A and B are shown apart, each in its own frame.
Chain A
Amino acid sequence: MKQVGLIAINFVREQRWPILVLMLWVGVLIAMGLVYDLRKAGEEVLFVFKQVAVYGIVFAVFFGASAIHNERKTRRILSVLSKSVGREQYIAGLLCGIIFAVSIYCFAMAMTGTWILRPAGFPAAYVWFLMAYLLVASVLAAAVAVVFSTFLNPLFATLCAICVLALPAAAALRFDSKWASAIPFYPLVGLLMRASFSEKWTPQWDLLALGVLESGLCWLAASWLFSRRDIAVAVD
């Protein structure tokens, strides 16, 4: 467990610049809050808030798809894995680092969202739940990307992750809407994107739980795959 924490903190530290770039979007929202009349411009502010929130998912996939590749390319992974660190701990450390990075973003977004949306009548609890959906969707997307990144380069890992995440949505369109929840990424993002002042909302605990469970399964799959990979050969 100690090793997982160390790798996670190290990951966040190494990704501090991308995280800072992500936080700049929160700064944009804060700037909007200072400039706009928040009571009158609620719809516009909510629209921008939802758009900015989605960047968290983009970054999560980027982190997930590139983390192992970057560490291998720089050969820093050898110094870490030559220590008392199992492959499953290494993957868990990377995932925890991504969760930590995205949590920082979601927390900042929730705080800012509460401040800029509440004056127009948007419930604060709803904002926090939307950010919980965003967090779980991001973690799930990152976990799927990590699975593919154990054996593919970042570009293909990203493409494969996008395909897998979109597959249930496509199946729901073609067959039955129940399929959409097979991998709850699309429903969670949908809850965020459909959020409005008029919508009556109820917490979707089942989707959150399923998202967390499937992220865990992705960790197991990624660990199993990664433990069978040779890491000391050229990455390209």
Chain B
Amino acid sequence: MAAALEFDGVSKQYNRWYGGRSVTALDRLTLAIEPGEIFGFLGPNGAGKTTAIHLAMGFMRPTAGQGRLLGKPFGDAKTRGRVGFLAENVAFYYRPAEELVRFYGALNDVPRSALKRRSREVLSAVGLLEDRRRNAGKFSRGMLQRVGLAQALINDPELVVLDEPTSALDPLARVTVRELLTSMRNAGKTIFLSSHLLSEVELICDRVAVLNRGQLVRLGRTSDLLRTDHKLEITARGIARDSFPEAQATDAVVRFKVPAEEQRAALERVWNLGGEVVSVNPVRRSLEQLFLELTMSSTPGKDIAS
């Protein structure tokens, strides 16, 4: 099956006027987002995430390389009718939320007969149905972000591209959006999510890409990236804390980490000491830890998994 979104060696360079230094915002990005997945797009400020998204949406033209959006080259207007997009700093015309959502739906060729029903559905999904007659100009930033999400979903898109969709939302709204995205994935939609909220990405994304200084530094399944291959955490009861180096004891339970190849020996030692093994788990790191590792000390171009 063709990728929902594909970057093939895409670069973007911003040239300064008057002989100033040009800036490479994106450097030979190659990436394919498969249909039906939630894809997390991470990176520190200035990493090139928004540039990549804007290239995909046709707001800019790549300096080199090419890309495809739902099988068509970037910039194809008709194809954008099958895509939902929410920009990072969302800004709308000052008018009632429902009217606004209908306007964007009409721009996307949503039939007039379906606009009313569909606009109410999406406003309800983002928790703004009761505020639909209020002027969006008087909305808080979080509410605006929810209107933004509603207008992105009005055309029932196959692919949703979201640039920081939950940055201004309260925890309850974040849960709502998270559930909404998960249900969309279950319905076969593809979601391309750029976010700084790593805990959220960790919770819902099937795959993650980390960008740093315009280059892709890590790509892989979220579960694979968070697993550290070499260590296991063993929890045991009935042994002394000093039986293992760097062990921690709480409520008569001792926890310690051992390299995977020493697992057998460690378990036998627990039993020999008269203890009882409660659990053995692979040590997982958080996405935040991975993100910091990659962005603080990464060499772009390495560590790219499939």
Binding site for B on A (CB under 8 A): 2-3, 6-7, 10, 13-14, 74-76, 78-86, 89, 228, 230-233
Asked whether A231 lies within 8 Å of B59 as measured between CB atoms, the reply is: yes
Asked whether A82 lies within 8 Å of B78 as measured between CB atoms, the reply is: no
**B118 interface residue (CB < 8 Å to A):** no
Tell me, rounded to whole Å, the shortest Cβ–Cβ distance linking B83 to chain A. Answer: 7
Asked whether B91 lies within 8 Å of A82 as measured between CB atoms, the reply is: no
- The interface residues of chain A lying within 8 Å CB-to-CB of B58 are 81
Chain B CB within 10 A, most for which of A14, A75, A78: A78
Asked whether B103 lies within 8 Å of A81 as measured between CB atoms, the reply is: no
30 of the cross-chain contacts (CB-CB < 8 Å) are: A7-B107, A10-B103, A14-B93, A74-B91, A75-B87, A75-B91, A76-B91, A76-B92, A78-B57, A79-B85, A79-B91, A79-B104, A79-B151, A80-B104, A81-B58, A82-B57, A82-B59, A82-B80, A83-B80, A83-B81, A83-B104, A84-B81, A84-B109, A85-B77, A86-B77, A89-B77, A230-B60, A231-B59, A232-B54, A232-B59
**B90 interface residue (CB < 8 Å to A):** yes
**B295 interface residue (CB < 8 Å to A):** no
Asked whether B92 lies within 8 Å of A79 as measured between CB atoms, the reply is: yes
Asked whether A84 lies within 8 Å of B93 as measured between CB atoms, the reply is: no
**Chain A: CB-nearest residue to B80:** A84
Asked whether B60 lies within 8 Å of A2 as measured between CB atoms, the reply is: no
**Chain A: CB-nearest residue to B112:** A2
Asked whether A83 lies within 8 Å of B107 as measured between CB atoms, the reply is: yes
**B89 interface residue (CB < 8 Å to A):** yes
**B227 interface residue (CB < 8 Å to A):** no
Number of A-B contacts (CB under 8 A): 73
Tell me, rounded to whole Å, the shortest Cβ–Cβ distance linking A38 to chain B. Answer: 42
Within 8 A of A (CB), among B88-143: 89-93, 103-104, 106-109
- The interface residues of chain B lying within 8 Å CB-to-CB of A82 are 57, 59, 80, 83, 85, 87
A75 to B151: give the CA distance in the assembly, Å.
15
A232 to B93: give the CA distance in the assembly, Å.
18
Chain B residues within 8 Å of chain A by Cβ, number: 29
- The interface residues of chain A lying within 8 Å CB-to-CB of B50 are 232
Asked whether B90 lies within 8 Å of A79 as measured between CB atoms, the reply is: yes
- The interface residues of chain B lying within 8 Å CB-to-CB of A84 are 77-78, 80-81, 107-109
Asked whether A76 lies within 8 Å of B59 as measured between CB atoms, the reply is: no
A230 to B58: give the CA distance in the assembly, Å.
9
- The interface residues of chain A lying within 8 Å CB-to-CB of B103 are 6, 10
- The interface residues of chain A lying within 8 Å CB-to-CB of B92 are 76, 79
Chain B CB within 10 A, most for which of A6, A7, A83: A83
Tell me, rounded to whole Å, the shortest Cβ–Cβ distance linking A40 to chain B. Answer: 48
- The interface residues of chain B lying within 8 Å CB-to-CB of A13 are 93
**B14 interface residue (CB < 8 Å to A):** yes
A14 to B91: give the CA distance in the assembly, Å.
14
A2 to B104: give the CA distance in the assembly, Å.
12
A57 to B219: give the CA distance in the assembly, Å.
56
- The interface residues of chain A lying within 8 Å CB-to-CB of B60 are 230-233
Asked whether A85 lies within 8 Å of B107 as measured between CB atoms, the reply is: yes
Asked whether A6 lies within 8 Å of B57 as measured between CB atoms, the reply is: no
Tell me, rounded to whole Å, the shortest Cβ–Cβ distance linking A17 to chain B. Answer: 12
**B61 interface residue (CB < 8 Å to A):** yes
Asked whether B87 lies within 8 Å of A79 as measured between CB atoms, the reply is: yes
Interface string of B52-65 (1 = CB under 8 A from A): 00100111110000
**Chain B: CB-nearest residue to A233:** B14
**Chain A: CB-nearest residue to B82:** A84
A79 to B86: give the CA distance in the assembly, Å.
8
**Chain A: CB-nearest residue to B148:** A79
Tell me, rounded to whole Å, the shortest Cβ–Cβ distance linking B231 to chain A. Answer: 43
Asked whether A2 lies within 8 Å of B108 as measured between CB atoms, the reply is: no
- The interface residues of chain A lying within 8 Å CB-to-CB of B104 are 79-80, 83
Asked whether A80 lies within 8 Å of B107 as measured between CB atoms, the reply is: yes
Chain A CB within 10 A, most for which of B89, B92, B107: B107
Q: A6-B107, A14-B93 are in contact. List 20 more A-B contacts (CB 8 A).
A: A2-B109, A6-B103, A75-B87, A75-B90, A75-B91, A76-B92, A78-B57, A79-B85, A79-B91, A80-B104, A82-B80, A82-B87, A84-B77, A84-B80, A85-B107, A86-B77, A230-B60, A230-B61, A231-B60, A232-B59
A7 to B77: give the CA distance in the assembly, Å.
15
- The interface residues of chain B lying within 8 Å CB-to-CB of A232 are 50-51, 54, 59-60
Within 8 A of A (CB), among B8-43: 14
A185 to B85: give the CA distance in the assembly, Å.
41
6 closest A-B pairs by CB: A84-B81, A82-B85, A83-B107, A86-B77, A232-B59, A230-B60
Tell me, rounded to whole Å, the shortest Cβ–Cβ distance linking A77 to chain B. Answer: 9
CB < 8 Å neighbour of B93 from A10, A85, A228, A230: A10
Tell me, rounded to whole Å, the shortest Cβ–Cβ distance linking A131 to chain B. Answer: 31
- The interface residues of chain B lying within 8 Å CB-to-CB of A81 are 57-59
